[in-house]
Structure formats: C-alpha cells, structure tokens
Amino acid sequence: MGSKSSLLPADFEWGFATAAYQIEGAVAEGGRGKSIWDTFCHLEPTRTKGANGDVACDHYHRYEEDFDLLTKYGAKAYRFSISWSRIIPQGGRNDPLNEEGISFYSRLIDSLLKRGITPWVTLYHWDLPQALHDRYGGWLDVQESQLDFERYARVCYERFGDRVKNWITLNEPWIQSIFGYSTGGNAPGRSSTNDLSDAGNSATEPWIVGKAQILSHVRAVIAYNKDFKPSQGGQIGISLNGDYYEPWDSADSRDKEAAERRMEFHIGWFANPIFLKKDYPSCMREQLGDRLPLFTESEVALLEEAETDFYGMNYYTSQFARHRGEPASDTDFVGNLDELQQDKQGTPVGEESGLHWLRSCPDLFRKHLTRVYNLYGKPIYITENGCPCPGEDKMTCDEAVNDPYRIKYFSSHLDAICKSIVDDGAVIKGYFAWALLDNLGAFLSISQVFVANRFTEWSDGYGPRFGVTFTDYKTLKRTPKQSALLLRKMVTDRQGLSVTTS
C-alpha cells in the first residue's frame, strides 16, 4: 500500500481533445478554403491509404451530439482546434474574413459554455491554408508566414476572446517541420529522402520551418499579452511533442549524452527559444551548423518580449537512445543516434499498445514531466495523452467499447502526474485525453513515430483508434467506450483522496 501523497490539485483541469481536420468534415461548406491537408489527402498515389477529411466524423454538423458526450463523460474542459482556412479562406493578412466560419466557431464555443465546459482553443493544428503555400511557400517564408499567422491569431482573439480564456498557438511544431518538410509523410509532403515527394530539401527546410513557427508563436503571444489579455484575462501557451529517452546502455556515457541530445532535438529546439528566450540547444548548432537559421537582433528582441504562460505537453511514449559512432548525415533530425524500444539487456521500455511504436511507460512519463518543469519553469498542461488498445483496429464496436488497456494507461499516467507534483515538485495543472472520437489519422496527431520507419503515412487513415468514443465510419454513430465513462472518476479519486504509490 502507498501513502496519501500522490494527489491532483482541486482545480485540476481535465477533459478531451480533438483537431479540426480530423473530425470536422464539411471541407467545402461554410466558405472554408482548402488547407494543405485537403491537397495532401487527395494526392495520387495516395499517401493516406485513401482516407481524407472530406467528411471525417462530420463534427461540423454533429457538434451538439458530440458535446452531449462531453457532458455524459463529465468533462470540465474541451481542447479543439480552429481551421485557419475556415476563418480566412486565403489565409493572408490582407485577405477577407469568412463570417460564416467565424459564426460556426462562435456557436461551437457558446454550446460548450452552455454546458459548463471550458473551451481550450488551438489556433494551428497543421492545417495551413493551401493558398499561403501556393502564394509564397507557406512556412518556408519566415517573414510572410509569421505576419499572416499574427493577423489570424488577432482575428480569433477579437471574435472569441470574450469567451475563450485558454489559447494554444501551435500544436506540435516538430511534427509540422519534420514530417511535413523532412520525411514528407505529412502535408505538404516535401522531402528529398522520400521517393513519393517531388520537391523539398530535407537537409535545410525543416529548420527554416521551425524558425517560422517559433516566430509565429512569439508574435501571437506578444499580440495577445499586449492588446487582449488586459481586458480578456486569459492565458496563452504552446503544445510541444516529445518522448522521454533513457540511455540504451546506462553504463555508457555516450548513450547518456545521446538520450539528452535526442530530447534537445525534440523539445529544446522550440522550448529553449520560447521559454528560456535563448538560442537553440548547442548540440543542434554543433551538428547542423549554418543549416540551422540564426536569430537576428530584432528576432531576439521578440523572443525576449514574448511571455508564454504555460507549457502544453503532448506525450505518448518513451524510448531508449543509443549513440552512433559515425558522423551524422545532412538529413538526420534526431541527433545522430538510434531509437530503440529495448535496452542493452533486452528489457522493453514498456507494455506494447495497439501500435508497435507506442508503449506504456508511466514511470518515464513522470521523469519527463519533472525534467520539463525543472528546465522551463512553467506550469504544465498535458494537452494530449492516449493510446489504441492492442488489436482495437480489428474490433467490432461491441468489442472495442471494453478497453481495459486504455483504462490502465490513463490511470497509470495520472498516477505519474500525481507523483511528479507531490514528490518532485512539478506544477501540473491539467490533462486532456486524446481523443474524444476515433478519427482520421489519429496515428498522425500523435507526437511520435517510430523513427526507424523514417516517415509514416495523418497518413494511416482511419486505422488505429485513439478515441474514447467508438466511431462507426460508415454510419458515423458514436458509442462511448468504458474509458470515457471512467476518466472522471480517475481524476476525482485523485483530488483529495489517497492513491497507491509504488
């Protein structure tokens, strides 16, 4: 038996998360413009096993039904993303607004508030307006993209900020940069290492895109803090993905360095400039040289001015890192190491889920939380965490609604949060389970891919099921899984009640 120590704070925020392109559908309705995912999902040959977001879960027409589920599950909060091209179809700062799209999100927000559910809005979840990609290369133009993103953010603050008090600028900029512009497995599919890609430079483009997103975040934060927060009183952060890495050989200092280096390439790339207001990690500069863009004096001033309120953490799994003896290739993006799921002794990093790369590692999640808090000193909200159950992609609805693996995963990861708070002193203020619904490409909304694949295909279509609600993709009927009905109790049991600790 454990002690009465591993507790969540009484005001702990919790709920479920989704992303616009994965659930909304209605891609040609309501004045919405195309995004890079609309284009990518219709490429021939297909990159997404034939799946697309044209209908998805039809959330655009069924959001009231979906919010009834949130009420049924007892959720306090709901994290969703806004489609940039539904707000500004052409995307640019001088382009016209789409009042019909603005009205849709306004109704959606009101519907949540009517139910007593707190909206958490992500401004960008990978769905860049296609018009901006066509106009100037999208994120490859650092100057233009950050100015257009700032204007889009300001429109959202102006129209929704009277009711929305929790803002996330970007979801997983690492994924957008690496899978969109190095491996080519995500939109817009640029790569020089992927035979399916017809354009791109994997040695340079990811690092340019990363800088564009950092400065876009910074401009959106400065705009909010200066012109909106004084009257609206909200908070603003960013959601970063990243696994926790242990050394493959715990006795080898080179593997210890490799594990830390991998987390610097994964997290420090964005978190150091944003939260520490300093340059990228030195290990990145050392390996990448002049391929990693410098920050100008004026850009450094922007970094220093932008005060980001919280660290949004998207976490799913952990791995082992083993150093490599040979020099890194120009297209390496992990820090010149191998990522493995077993250590030198053959011990697996955790229990396997319904995806070969995702293993349940709650003890390492605790280390991850504590490391991030100690490094960056900001309150943490876990903005994504979840898994598919073993064999779930082949199950019927009646089979899938019984999901003991997911229940155990949620419970053990909540315990890890408790231990990080109470025993390690981390400040962790919320938890969002991924995802409310089984949806398009749940696989690719994930923070990590087993990099040995080099690239993946939001590209696994409608295969792996991460939802707490079973979606029948033919009828679109929603059916709650057991985990959805139990998450509330998991959280409330840890708010003021004892938890068994190991």
Residues known to be catalytic: 172, 384
Q: Interhelix angle for 99-114 vs 142-160, to 10°?
A: 50
Residue type, 61: H
**Cβ-count burial 332-352 (b if 16+ within 10 Å, e if not):** bbbbbbbbbbebeeeeebbeb
Residue 126 region by backbone torsions, left for phi larger than 0, else alpha for psi between -120 and 50, else beta: left
Identify the three-state secondary structure at position 431.
strand
Rounded to a whole number of angstroms, the distance between the first and last alpha carbons of the chain is: 8
**HSE-CB for 103 with a 13 A CA cutoff:** 6
User: CB count, 10 Å around CB of 144?
Assistant: 18
Alpha-carbon gap, residue 22 to 37, rounded angstroms: 10
Strand partners, 319: 245
Check the CA dihedral 203-213-106-12 and report its sign: positive
ω into residue 435 within 30 of 0, thus cis? yes
The one-character DSSP state at 35 is B
Q: Are 222 and 216 in contact (CB under 8 A)?
A: no
Question: Mapping DSSP to helix (H, G, I), strand (E, B) and coil, where does residue 469 land?
Answer: strand
Sheet (strand 318-323) strand order: 244-247, 318-323, 337-340
Listed in sequence order, the DSSP H helices in 162-293 are 173-181, 205-227, 229-232, 253-263, 269-271, 282-288
Give, as one character, the DSSP assignment of residue 289: G
Residue bearing tokens 């960008």: 124
On whether the CB atoms of residues 364 and 413 are closer than 8 A, the answer is no
> Encoding tokens for residue 91?
């995307």
DSSP code, position 196: T
Q: What residues contact residue 334 under an 8 Å CB cut-off, 6+ apart?
A: 262, 265, 266, 451
